[in-house]
Amino acid sequence: MTIITTDFIIVGSGIAGLSAALALAPYGDVIIVTKGTVHQGSTEWAQGGIAAAMNSDDTPKHHYEDTIAAGDGLCNPSAVRILVEEGPIRVKELMELGARFDRDGDTFSFTQEAAHSRRRILHAGDATGREIEKTLGNTVRRKPNIRFLENTSVSKLLVEDNECQGCVILNNGTVNILVGRAVIIATGGCGQVFAYNTNPSVATGDGIALAYTAGATIQDMEFTQFHPTTLYTGDKRPISLFLISEAVRGEGGILRNIHGERFMPRYHPSAELAPRDAVARAVYDEMKITSSTHVFLDLGDIPFDLATRFPTIFKRCRESGIDLRHDFVPVAPAAHYFMGGISTDENGQTSIRRLYAAGEAASLGIHGANRLASNSLLDGLVFGHRAGITAAQETPKISWPHITHQPSPEPLSTNPKLLKSHIRDTMWHSVGIVRSQNLLDQAANFFDTLWPLMRCEAATETLLELQSLAIVGRLMVQFASTRTSSWGSHFRSDYPRKNPAHSGHLWINNSMDHPQLKTHFSTTLQTNTDFEL
C-alpha cells in the first residue's frame, strides 16, 4: 500500500470539482480523483443551460426572488444571494476561458425556463454542460500542478479527532492512501438509486455515503427532484433515461395526455412553466387518471428550427423514429436532481475540519425544497470556487501524519446486479414522486436487511457502489418518514399539506452503530426573502 501526499484532494470531476481545482491551483498541488473519466459525470449531460442575471432586463434581485419562490420556503437566503450575485462573475470568467454560448447577432441568446420570470438561461445548443465541462477540463489539464486519477474510487475518508487527513483509494483492486491538507467532495448526486433516472451510471451517491460514514452531518435527504419529461421508450429500461430539456417547454412546448388534451392549466396557473415538482406530479396524476405509461410533449408551436435549437434532442428522438417537427414526443417523469446531501456552510465547510463539499453532493439550502431550473450548473461553478478558495486559505500546511490502514471487509454473500436492481426498484416504488408511510415502512424494512452491507468496508468497486446506494437509500427513507408534511419535491399522499411545525431543515449525524437512524429538525436556516443591494 502506497501513501501519496499532495496539498489538496478533490473527489469528483464535474463542474464543482473542476471549479474548485482552478481556485486551488495557485496554492499548491491538487489531485482530482474520479471513479470514471473526466467526461462521465452529470455536468457533461446537462442540456438546458446555466442561469445568470446577465440579460439587459434582468437583475440578481429578480433571480433571487425566483429561486426563493421555487424553493418553497426552505431556501437559505444568504446562500441564494451569494449564488445570484457571484454567478455572473463566475460565468464571465468561464467565457474568458473559452466557453462559447449561443448568440443572436452581437448579444447572447437567453432562453426562459419554468419558474423563471426573465429570459436568463445561457445555453450552447442543448449541450451546455458539455461545453462547460470541455472548457474547464481543458483549462485544468493545462495546469502542471493538477493531476487526475481516473477510474479510481474513494472507499473511505480518513478522519482523526474530527479532522480529515485524506482518503483511501481503490483502483482495480489496488488500495492506496491519499493524504492532503484538505479534501473536497464534489461527487455529484445519487440519481442511480432510483430505477428511472436521468443521471449517468456513476451517480450513486458515493460522496454523501463517504461523508456520512465518516461522521459528517447530512441534511434534507427527502428532497429529490423528479424531472417531468424524459423520453419514454416503452418496455426498454436503460440505466439512465434520455432527458427532454426544460428549455423545450420554456420555448413553448405543450404537455398533452394520451388523448391529445392539454392538461397542465388544470393543475397550475403557470401551466407548463410551473415549478418542476408541480409539473412532475401533474404528469404522474394524468398518467394515473388515463391509465397510461406516459404523456406527450407537443413542440408544434415552437417558432424555431428545432434541429438547430435542440440538436441533441432532435437527433436522439429521430433515432427512436420521432420527428420533433411533426410528432408528439412520448415522455414520463424520472429522478433527476438531489437537493439534500452533505451539510455545509456557505464556503463548503462540512462538520468535519479540513473536509469540504460542493455541488450536488452538498446541501446548504440554496435550492430549498425544489431547485429552480438551470441553477445546478451555477451552484457548482460558484460554490466549487468558494470551497477551493476557503480550503486554500483555512488549511495551513501540516506535517503529514503517520497513517496506517488495514482494510477488513466483512464477507458478504450477495448477487451485486440483483441487489442493485432491488434497491432501485424499491426506491422508485416507495420513495418516488408520491410517498406514504406505508410505502416508506416497506422500504425501511428492506434496507434494514442490508445493514451488514452498509457497515462493511468495501474492497471492490462493485461492492462500494452497492454500499453507497444502500446508505443513501436508507437515509432518504428515514428523512421522508420524518417529514410528515408535503414541501416542494417531497409529497406525501397521507400528509398532502404543509405542516408549519416542519418548516425547518432535517439533519442527521452518523448512526451506523444501529439501524434505527435518528433525524432532527433544525430551523437555523432562515427562510425570509429580504434582499438589499
Q: What is the DSSP letter of 342?
A: E
DSSP code string of 60-73: HHHHHHHHHHHTTT
CA distances for 43 relative to 131, 259, 381, angstroms: 9, 36, 11
Taking a C-beta distance cutoff of 8 angstroms, is the pair 167, 344 a contact? Answer: no
| Beta bridge mates, 30 | 8, 146
Annotation marks residue 262 as catalytic: no
Taking a C-beta distance cutoff of 8 angstroms, is the pair 531, 64 a contact? Answer: yes
Q: Which residue has the cell 412532475?
A: 280
Task: Please state the separation of Cα 241 from the chain's center in Å.
Answer: 16
475: part of which helix (H) or strand (E)? helix 461-482
Taking a C-beta distance cutoff of 8 angstroms, is the pair 99, 132 a contact? Answer: yes
Taking a C-beta distance cutoff of 8 angstroms, is the pair 242, 230 a contact? Answer: yes
Among 120, 249, 276, 435, the active-site one is 276
- Grid coordinates representing 8? 489538496
Rounded Cα distance between 502 and 185, Å, is 29
| Beta bridge mates, 179 | 5, 166
Taking a C-beta distance cutoff of 8 angstroms, is the pair 211, 157 a contact? Answer: yes
Active site residues: 276
